[in-house]
Amino acid sequence: MRATTVGVRVERGVLTVEIDGNGPRCEVSSRCDYLLPFTTLAEAPYILEVFEFVSALYAADRLVPRAARAWTRWLNVTFPVSRLGHWTIARTLLEELIWSATGDNVTLNFVQRAAGSVHRDRRHMRLVLDHQTWTSVVLLSEGLDSLCGAFRALDDSADRVAFVSLVTNSRKAARIQKISNGIGSRYGERAVFHRVRDLHLVEPPEKQEPTQRTRGLLAIAAGLTVAAAYESRAVSVSENGTGILNLPITTLQTRHESSQVLHPQNLRLWSSISELLLSGAIVRYSNRFRTKAEMLADIPVDARDLIWTTSSCDAPQRSDKHNDCGVCGSCDYRRFSLRTAGIADRTQYTAVPPIRRAYDPAGLRRLQAQQLSSALHSDDPWRALVRLQPTLRTAIEHRNPNERTGAIASTIDLLRRHVAEVLSSEERLAHAI
Protein backbone atom coordinates (compact mmCIF):
# COMPACT_ATOMS: atom_id res chain seq x y z
CA MET A 1 0.00 0.00 0.00
CA ARG A 2 1.29 3.47 -0.89
CA ALA A 3 2.26 5.55 2.10
CA THR A 4 0.84 9.04 2.59
CA THR A 5 3.59 11.67 2.76
CA VAL A 6 3.34 14.09 5.69
CA GLY A 7 5.66 17.06 5.47
CA VAL A 8 6.16 19.26 8.54
CA ARG A 9 7.88 22.65 8.43
CA VAL A 10 8.64 25.33 11.00
CA GLU A 11 9.26 28.56 9.11
CA ARG A 12 8.84 32.15 10.29
CA GLY A 13 7.39 30.78 13.50
CA VAL A 14 4.63 28.81 11.73
CA LEU A 15 4.20 25.04 12.19
CA THR A 16 2.71 23.74 8.94
CA VAL A 17 1.64 20.20 8.05
CA GLU A 18 1.19 19.27 4.37
CA ILE A 19 -0.21 16.01 2.99
CA ASP A 20 1.23 14.47 -0.20
CA GLY A 21 2.87 17.67 -1.36
CA ASN A 22 -0.19 19.26 -2.94
CA GLY A 23 -2.91 17.82 -0.71
CA PRO A 24 -4.44 19.32 2.45
CA ARG A 25 -2.15 21.85 4.11
CA CYS A 26 -2.80 23.33 7.55
CA GLU A 27 -1.11 25.52 10.09
CA VAL A 28 -1.20 24.19 13.66
CA SER A 29 -2.05 27.00 16.05
CA SER A 30 -2.12 27.03 19.84
CA ARG A 31 -1.31 29.30 22.75
CA CYS A 32 1.47 27.93 24.92
CA ASP A 33 2.07 31.10 26.95
CA TYR A 34 0.75 29.34 30.07
CA LEU A 35 2.24 25.90 29.38
CA LEU A 36 5.75 26.30 30.74
CA PRO A 37 6.67 27.46 34.27
CA PHE A 38 9.21 30.17 35.00
CA THR A 39 12.29 27.95 35.25
CA THR A 40 15.71 27.87 33.63
CA LEU A 41 14.99 24.57 31.89
CA ALA A 42 11.85 26.01 30.32
CA GLU A 43 14.18 28.13 28.17
CA ALA A 44 16.00 25.10 26.70
CA PRO A 45 15.83 25.25 22.87
CA TYR A 46 14.49 21.70 22.62
CA ILE A 47 11.90 21.84 25.41
CA LEU A 48 8.82 22.08 23.16
CA GLU A 49 9.94 19.88 20.26
CA VAL A 50 8.23 16.71 21.49
CA PHE A 51 5.00 18.67 21.91
CA GLU A 52 5.41 20.18 18.44
CA PHE A 53 6.08 16.74 16.96
CA VAL A 54 2.92 15.24 18.45
CA SER A 55 1.00 18.39 17.41
CA ALA A 56 2.06 17.64 13.84
CA LEU A 57 0.92 14.02 14.26
CA TYR A 58 -2.40 15.33 15.60
CA ALA A 59 -2.83 17.44 12.46
CA ALA A 60 -1.95 14.51 10.18
CA ASP A 61 -4.35 12.31 12.16
CA ARG A 62 -7.19 14.72 11.31
CA LEU A 63 -6.16 15.34 7.70
CA VAL A 64 -5.61 11.74 6.53
CA PRO A 65 -8.85 9.68 6.53
CA ARG A 66 -8.84 5.97 7.25
CA ALA A 67 -10.06 3.70 4.44
CA ALA A 68 -13.64 2.48 4.69
CA ARG A 69 -12.72 -1.15 5.36
CA ALA A 70 -9.26 -0.83 6.86
CA TRP A 71 -8.06 0.71 10.08
CA THR A 72 -4.31 1.03 9.50
CA ARG A 73 -2.84 3.97 7.61
CA TRP A 74 0.71 4.09 6.24
CA LEU A 75 2.34 7.47 6.81
CA ASN A 76 5.79 8.80 5.92
CA VAL A 77 6.46 11.78 8.19
CA THR A 78 9.29 14.30 7.91
CA PHE A 79 9.89 16.55 10.93
CA PRO A 80 12.66 19.10 11.67
CA VAL A 81 14.52 18.83 15.00
CA SER A 82 17.36 20.69 16.69
CA ARG A 83 19.06 17.63 18.26
CA LEU A 84 19.14 15.30 15.27
CA GLY A 85 21.25 12.65 17.00
CA HIS A 86 18.84 12.26 19.94
CA TRP A 87 15.78 12.05 17.67
CA THR A 88 17.46 9.55 15.37
CA ILE A 89 18.07 7.23 18.33
CA ALA A 90 14.46 7.70 19.47
CA ARG A 91 12.95 7.07 16.02
CA THR A 92 12.20 3.35 16.44
CA LEU A 93 10.66 3.96 19.87
CA LEU A 94 8.42 6.71 18.47
CA GLU A 95 7.31 4.54 15.55
CA GLU A 96 6.47 1.72 17.95
CA LEU A 97 4.53 4.08 20.23
CA ILE A 98 2.48 5.43 17.33
CA TRP A 99 1.66 1.93 16.13
CA SER A 100 0.76 0.71 19.61
CA ALA A 101 -1.45 3.71 20.36
CA THR A 102 -3.12 4.36 17.01
CA GLY A 103 -2.69 1.31 14.79
CA ASP A 104 -0.87 3.37 12.14
CA ASN A 105 2.35 2.28 10.44
CA VAL A 106 4.51 5.40 10.45
CA THR A 107 8.00 5.89 9.03
CA LEU A 108 9.72 8.89 10.62
CA ASN A 109 12.36 11.01 8.89
CA PHE A 110 14.08 13.62 11.03
CA VAL A 111 15.98 16.51 9.45
CA GLN A 112 18.09 19.24 11.02
CA ARG A 113 16.07 22.28 12.04
CA ALA A 114 17.53 25.64 11.10
CA ALA A 115 19.04 27.55 14.00
CA GLY A 116 16.53 29.94 15.52
CA SER A 117 13.58 28.30 13.75
CA VAL A 118 11.14 28.27 16.64
CA HIS A 119 7.38 27.82 16.54
CA ARG A 120 5.82 31.18 17.43
CA ASP A 121 3.65 29.51 20.09
CA ARG A 122 6.76 28.89 22.14
CA ARG A 123 6.85 31.02 25.27
CA HIS A 124 9.38 33.82 25.23
CA MET A 125 10.28 34.10 28.88
CA ARG A 126 11.42 37.38 30.38
CA LEU A 127 11.88 36.21 33.95
CA VAL A 128 13.45 33.14 35.52
CA LEU A 129 12.58 32.20 39.10
CA ASP A 130 13.78 29.44 41.39
CA HIS A 131 11.39 26.52 41.39
CA GLN A 132 10.53 23.73 43.77
CA THR A 133 11.67 20.42 42.36
CA TRP A 134 9.07 18.50 44.37
CA THR A 135 6.23 19.69 42.15
CA SER A 136 4.05 16.78 41.00
CA VAL A 137 2.61 16.92 37.47
CA VAL A 138 -0.93 15.69 36.80
CA LEU A 139 -2.96 15.85 33.58
CA LEU A 140 -6.23 17.76 34.00
CA SER A 141 -9.03 17.51 31.44
CA GLU A 142 -12.74 18.25 31.71
CA GLY A 143 -13.38 14.56 32.40
CA LEU A 144 -14.78 12.86 35.47
CA ASP A 145 -11.75 10.62 36.10
CA SER A 146 -9.50 13.66 35.87
CA LEU A 147 -11.46 15.45 38.59
CA CYS A 148 -11.18 12.40 40.86
CA GLY A 149 -7.45 12.18 40.17
CA ALA A 150 -6.95 15.86 41.02
CA PHE A 151 -8.42 15.41 44.51
CA ARG A 152 -6.42 12.25 45.08
CA ALA A 153 -3.14 13.85 44.01
CA LEU A 154 -3.62 16.76 46.41
CA ASP A 155 -4.98 14.70 49.31
CA ASP A 156 -2.37 11.92 49.16
CA SER A 157 0.68 14.14 49.70
CA ALA A 158 1.75 17.61 50.73
CA ASP A 159 3.40 18.29 47.37
CA ARG A 160 2.56 21.21 45.20
CA VAL A 161 0.74 19.85 42.12
CA ALA A 162 1.07 21.27 38.61
CA PHE A 163 -2.01 20.48 36.53
CA VAL A 164 -1.55 20.39 32.75
CA SER A 165 -4.52 20.87 30.41
CA LEU A 166 -5.05 20.71 26.66
CA VAL A 167 -7.83 23.04 25.49
CA THR A 168 -9.26 22.49 22.01
CA ASN A 169 -12.61 24.31 22.12
CA SER A 170 -14.45 27.00 24.05
CA ARG A 171 -16.75 24.64 25.97
CA LYS A 172 -13.77 22.61 27.15
CA ALA A 173 -11.97 25.82 28.18
CA ALA A 174 -14.95 26.92 30.28
CA ARG A 175 -15.26 23.54 31.98
CA ILE A 176 -11.55 23.32 32.80
CA GLN A 177 -11.60 26.87 34.16
CA LYS A 178 -14.49 26.02 36.52
CA ILE A 179 -12.72 22.85 37.67
CA SER A 180 -9.47 24.78 38.20
CA ASN A 181 -11.29 27.47 40.18
CA GLY A 182 -12.87 24.81 42.41
CA ILE A 183 -9.56 23.07 43.02
CA GLY A 184 -7.76 26.38 43.61
CA SER A 185 -10.31 27.60 46.13
CA ARG A 186 -9.94 24.34 48.09
CA TYR A 187 -6.17 23.86 48.00
CA GLY A 188 -4.81 27.37 47.45
CA GLU A 189 -1.22 27.78 46.29
CA ARG A 190 -0.58 24.03 46.35
CA ALA A 191 -2.36 23.79 42.99
CA VAL A 192 -0.80 25.48 39.95
CA PHE A 193 -2.20 25.29 36.43
CA HIS A 194 -0.54 25.10 33.03
CA ARG A 195 -2.51 25.09 29.79
CA VAL A 196 -2.18 24.76 26.06
CA ARG A 197 -5.04 26.98 24.93
CA ASP A 198 -6.96 27.24 21.69
CA LEU A 199 -5.26 24.31 19.95
CA HIS A 200 -6.68 24.10 16.42
CA LEU A 201 -5.90 23.73 12.73
CA VAL A 202 -6.11 26.92 10.70
CA GLU A 203 -8.66 26.53 7.87
CA PRO A 204 -8.76 22.72 7.84
CA PRO A 205 -10.77 20.83 5.20
CA GLU A 206 -14.41 20.24 6.08
CA LYS A 207 -14.07 16.44 5.98
CA GLN A 208 -11.71 15.12 8.67
CA GLU A 209 -10.92 11.73 10.17
CA PRO A 210 -13.29 11.30 13.16
CA THR A 211 -11.28 8.80 15.27
CA GLN A 212 -8.33 11.10 16.10
CA ARG A 213 -6.42 8.92 18.55
CA THR A 214 -3.51 11.36 18.86
CA ARG A 215 -5.34 13.83 21.14
CA GLY A 216 -4.41 11.65 24.13
CA LEU A 217 -0.79 11.40 22.99
CA LEU A 218 -0.68 15.19 22.77
CA ALA A 219 -1.93 15.61 26.34
CA ILE A 220 0.78 13.25 27.62
CA ALA A 221 3.42 15.09 25.57
CA ALA A 222 2.30 18.37 27.15
CA GLY A 223 2.56 16.80 30.62
CA LEU A 224 6.07 15.48 29.99
CA THR A 225 7.10 18.91 28.69
CA VAL A 226 5.98 20.59 31.91
CA ALA A 227 7.62 17.82 33.95
CA ALA A 228 10.91 18.46 32.14
CA ALA A 229 10.73 22.18 32.94
CA TYR A 230 10.07 21.45 36.62
CA GLU A 231 12.57 18.55 36.73
CA SER A 232 9.69 16.48 38.05
CA ARG A 233 10.06 12.71 37.84
CA ALA A 234 6.54 11.64 36.83
CA VAL A 235 3.37 12.67 35.03
CA SER A 236 0.19 11.20 36.50
CA VAL A 237 -2.73 10.18 34.29
CA SER A 238 -5.96 9.72 36.24
CA GLU A 239 -7.92 7.36 33.96
CA ASN A 240 -9.68 4.50 35.76
CA GLY A 241 -8.31 0.97 35.43
CA THR A 242 -10.93 -0.42 33.06
CA GLY A 243 -10.62 2.69 30.91
CA ILE A 244 -6.86 2.19 30.69
CA LEU A 245 -7.33 -1.40 29.51
CA ASN A 246 -10.25 -0.36 27.23
CA LEU A 247 -10.87 -3.96 26.22
CA PRO A 248 -12.35 -4.35 22.73
CA ILE A 249 -15.88 -5.74 22.47
CA THR A 250 -15.11 -9.18 21.09
CA THR A 251 -16.45 -9.89 17.56
CA LEU A 252 -17.29 -6.18 17.11
CA GLN A 253 -13.98 -4.34 17.48
CA THR A 254 -10.44 -5.00 16.41
CA ARG A 255 -7.63 -4.04 18.78
CA HIS A 256 -7.14 -0.45 17.65
CA GLU A 257 -10.79 0.34 17.07
CA SER A 258 -10.87 0.30 20.86
CA SER A 259 -8.40 3.10 21.65
CA GLN A 260 -5.04 1.83 22.88
CA VAL A 261 -3.52 5.24 23.63
CA LEU A 262 -3.30 4.49 27.37
CA HIS A 263 -2.44 0.80 27.04
CA PRO A 264 0.13 -0.13 29.73
CA GLN A 265 2.65 -1.39 27.18
CA ASN A 266 3.10 2.25 26.12
CA LEU A 267 4.53 3.22 29.52
CA ARG A 268 7.91 1.69 28.71
CA LEU A 269 8.01 3.54 25.39
CA TRP A 270 7.12 6.89 26.93
CA SER A 271 9.84 6.44 29.55
CA SER A 272 12.53 5.71 26.97
CA ILE A 273 11.42 8.58 24.73
CA SER A 274 11.35 10.97 27.68
CA GLU A 275 14.84 9.85 28.71
CA LEU A 276 16.21 10.62 25.24
CA LEU A 277 14.33 13.80 24.38
CA LEU A 278 13.24 15.46 27.64
CA SER A 279 14.16 14.93 31.29
CA GLY A 280 13.42 11.25 31.83
CA ALA A 281 10.10 11.72 33.64
CA ILE A 282 7.87 8.65 33.55
CA VAL A 283 4.15 8.39 32.85
CA ARG A 284 2.28 6.92 35.83
CA TYR A 285 -1.29 5.60 36.02
CA SER A 286 -2.33 6.56 39.53
CA ASN A 287 -5.71 4.73 39.31
CA ARG A 288 -4.61 1.75 37.30
CA PHE A 289 -6.40 -0.82 39.45
CA ARG A 290 -9.51 1.18 40.42
CA THR A 291 -12.92 1.41 38.77
CA LYS A 292 -14.56 4.72 37.94
CA ALA A 293 -17.22 4.11 40.59
CA GLU A 294 -14.55 3.50 43.24
CA MET A 295 -12.84 6.74 42.28
CA LEU A 296 -16.12 8.68 42.42
CA ALA A 297 -16.88 7.41 45.91
CA ASP A 298 -13.68 9.09 47.15
CA ILE A 299 -14.60 12.61 46.02
CA PRO A 300 -15.15 14.73 49.15
CA VAL A 301 -18.88 15.17 49.72
CA ASP A 302 -18.55 18.95 49.99
CA ALA A 303 -16.78 19.05 46.59
CA ARG A 304 -19.22 16.95 44.60
CA ASP A 305 -20.82 19.95 42.91
CA LEU A 306 -17.71 20.03 40.71
CA ILE A 307 -18.84 16.71 39.19
CA TRP A 308 -21.47 18.58 37.18
CA THR A 309 -18.87 20.78 35.50
CA THR A 310 -17.20 17.70 33.96
CA SER A 311 -17.96 16.07 30.62
CA SER A 312 -17.78 12.44 29.50
CA CYS A 313 -19.34 12.57 26.02
CA ASP A 314 -17.66 11.15 22.92
CA ALA A 315 -20.53 11.54 20.41
CA PRO A 316 -18.73 12.62 17.22
CA GLN A 317 -21.36 15.16 16.21
CA ARG A 318 -21.29 17.08 19.53
CA SER A 319 -20.21 20.69 19.04
CA ASP A 320 -19.23 23.53 21.37
CA LYS A 321 -22.84 24.63 21.76
CA HIS A 322 -24.16 21.23 22.91
CA ASN A 323 -24.06 19.52 26.29
CA ASP A 324 -23.21 15.83 26.61
CA CYS A 325 -25.48 13.71 24.41
CA GLY A 326 -26.46 11.25 27.16
CA VAL A 327 -26.67 8.22 24.87
CA CYS A 328 -23.13 7.44 23.66
CA GLY A 329 -20.94 4.79 25.29
CA SER A 330 -19.02 7.25 27.48
CA CYS A 331 -22.19 8.98 28.70
CA ASP A 332 -23.70 5.59 29.48
CA TYR A 333 -20.61 4.57 31.47
CA ARG A 334 -20.72 7.87 33.35
CA ARG A 335 -24.36 7.25 34.31
CA PHE A 336 -23.60 3.68 35.37
CA SER A 337 -20.59 4.68 37.51
CA LEU A 338 -22.43 7.50 39.27
CA ARG A 339 -25.29 5.12 40.04
CA THR A 340 -22.87 2.47 41.33
CA ALA A 341 -21.16 5.07 43.57
CA GLY A 342 -24.54 6.12 44.98
CA ILE A 343 -24.42 9.63 43.49
CA ALA A 344 -27.57 11.01 41.85
CA ASP A 345 -26.80 12.06 38.28
CA ARG A 346 -27.42 15.79 37.77
CA THR A 347 -25.66 15.99 34.38
CA GLN A 348 -27.53 18.09 31.82
CA TYR A 349 -27.85 15.75 28.83
CA THR A 350 -29.26 16.89 25.48
CA ALA A 351 -30.26 13.38 24.30
CA VAL A 352 -28.67 14.07 20.92
CA PRO A 353 -28.12 10.58 19.48
CA PRO A 354 -24.63 9.56 18.35
CA ILE A 355 -23.99 8.05 14.93
CA ARG A 356 -26.42 5.25 14.14
CA ARG A 357 -25.45 1.88 15.57
CA ALA A 358 -27.18 -1.47 15.63
CA TYR A 359 -26.53 -1.87 19.36
CA ASP A 360 -26.85 0.06 22.59
CA PRO A 361 -23.88 0.89 24.88
CA ALA A 362 -25.51 -0.62 28.00
CA GLY A 363 -26.13 -3.87 26.16
CA LEU A 364 -22.50 -4.03 25.06
CA ARG A 365 -21.27 -3.35 28.58
CA ARG A 366 -23.46 -6.15 29.89
CA LEU A 367 -22.34 -8.54 27.11
CA GLN A 368 -18.66 -7.85 27.81
CA ALA A 369 -19.17 -8.29 31.57
CA GLN A 370 -20.82 -11.68 30.97
CA GLN A 371 -17.91 -12.78 28.75
CA LEU A 372 -15.38 -11.63 31.33
CA SER A 373 -17.34 -13.33 34.09
CA SER A 374 -17.13 -16.69 32.30
CA ALA A 375 -13.36 -16.32 31.93
CA LEU A 376 -12.93 -15.25 35.56
CA HIS A 377 -14.79 -18.36 36.76
CA SER A 378 -12.57 -20.75 34.79
CA ASP A 379 -9.86 -22.93 36.36
CA ASP A 380 -7.13 -20.63 35.01
CA PRO A 381 -8.65 -17.11 34.92
CA TRP A 382 -5.65 -15.35 33.43
CA ARG A 383 -5.25 -17.78 30.56
CA ALA A 384 -8.97 -17.57 29.82
CA LEU A 385 -8.93 -13.76 29.98
CA VAL A 386 -5.99 -13.50 27.58
CA ARG A 387 -7.69 -15.91 25.19
CA LEU A 388 -10.82 -13.76 25.29
CA GLN A 389 -8.95 -10.42 25.26
CA PRO A 390 -5.49 -10.74 23.63
CA THR A 391 -4.63 -7.10 24.46
CA LEU A 392 -4.29 -8.19 28.10
CA ARG A 393 -1.17 -10.19 27.22
CA THR A 394 0.91 -7.03 26.80
CA ALA A 395 -0.90 -5.10 29.54
CA ILE A 396 1.51 -6.62 32.06
CA GLU A 397 4.76 -4.86 31.24
CA HIS A 398 6.75 -5.98 34.31
CA ARG A 399 9.75 -8.21 33.63
CA ASN A 400 10.47 -9.05 37.27
CA PRO A 401 8.56 -12.32 37.96
CA ASN A 402 7.25 -11.17 41.35
CA GLU A 403 6.06 -7.81 39.99
CA ARG A 404 4.50 -9.55 37.00
CA THR A 405 2.62 -11.98 39.22
CA GLY A 406 1.36 -9.13 41.37
CA ALA A 407 0.23 -7.11 38.35
CA ILE A 408 -1.67 -10.10 36.93
CA ALA A 409 -3.39 -10.66 40.28
CA SER A 410 -4.31 -6.96 40.52
CA THR A 411 -5.68 -6.95 36.96
CA ILE A 412 -7.81 -10.03 37.65
CA ASP A 413 -9.10 -8.42 40.85
CA LEU A 414 -9.92 -5.18 38.97
CA LEU A 415 -11.90 -7.09 36.36
CA ARG A 416 -13.73 -9.08 39.04
CA ARG A 417 -14.84 -5.85 40.72
CA HIS A 418 -15.81 -4.29 37.39
CA VAL A 419 -17.90 -7.33 36.44
CA ALA A 420 -19.53 -7.36 39.87
CA GLU A 421 -20.44 -3.67 39.50
CA VAL A 422 -21.97 -4.20 36.06
CA LEU A 423 -23.93 -7.37 36.80
CA SER A 424 -25.19 -6.24 40.21
CA SER A 425 -26.29 -2.92 38.71
CA GLU A 426 -28.21 -4.76 35.98
CA GLU A 427 -29.92 -6.93 38.61
CA ARG A 428 -30.97 -3.84 40.60
CA LEU A 429 -32.38 -2.21 37.48
CA ALA A 430 -34.29 -5.37 36.54
CA HIS A 431 -35.90 -5.56 40.01
CA ALA A 432 -36.74 -1.85 39.89
CA ILE A 433 -38.54 -2.34 36.59
- Domain assignment present for residue 240? The answer is no
Q: What is the pLDDT of residue 313?
A: 87
- Domain assignment present for residue 244? The answer is no
Contact call for residues 282 and 267 (beta carbons, < 8 A) = yes
Output the CA–CA distances (angstroms, integers) from residue 16 to 53, 59, 88, 302, in the order listed.
11, 9, 21, 46
- Domain assignment present for residue 8? The answer is no
**Domain hosting residue 306, numbered range:** 302-432
**Range from 29-43, 194-208, 257-271 that averages highest in pLDDT:** 257-271
- Domain assignment present for residue 158? The answer is no
How far is it, in rounded angstroms, from Cα 259 to Cα 413?
A: 22
Q: Give the total number of structural domains in the chain.
A: 1
How far is it, in rounded angstroms, from Cα 210 to Cα 160?
A: 37
How confident is the model over 302-311, as a mean pLDDT?
A: 94
Q: Which residues of 272-303 are buried (b: 16+ CB within 10 A; e: fewer)?
A: bbbebbbbbbbbbbbbbbbbbbbbbeebeeee
Output the CA–CA distances (angstroms, integers) from residue 383 to 192, 305, 365, 370, in the order listed.
44, 43, 22, 17
- Domain assignment present for residue 38? The answer is no
- Domain assignment present for residue 413? The answer is yes
Is the pLDDT at 354 greater than 70? The verdict is no
pLDDT band at 433 (very low <50, low <70, confident <90, very high): very low
Is the pLDDT at 429 greater than 60? The verdict is no
H-assigned helices in 103-213? 144-155, 170-187
User: What one-letter code names the amino acid at 87?
Assistant: W
- Domain assignment present for residue 380? The answer is yes
- Domain assignment present for residue 267? The answer is no
Is the pLDDT at 278 greater than 60? The verdict is yes
Dihedral pair phi/psi, residue 97, rounded to 5°:
-60, -45
Is the pLDDT at 298 greater than 70? The verdict is yes
Least confident of 39-43, 99-103, 258-262, 329-333: 39-43
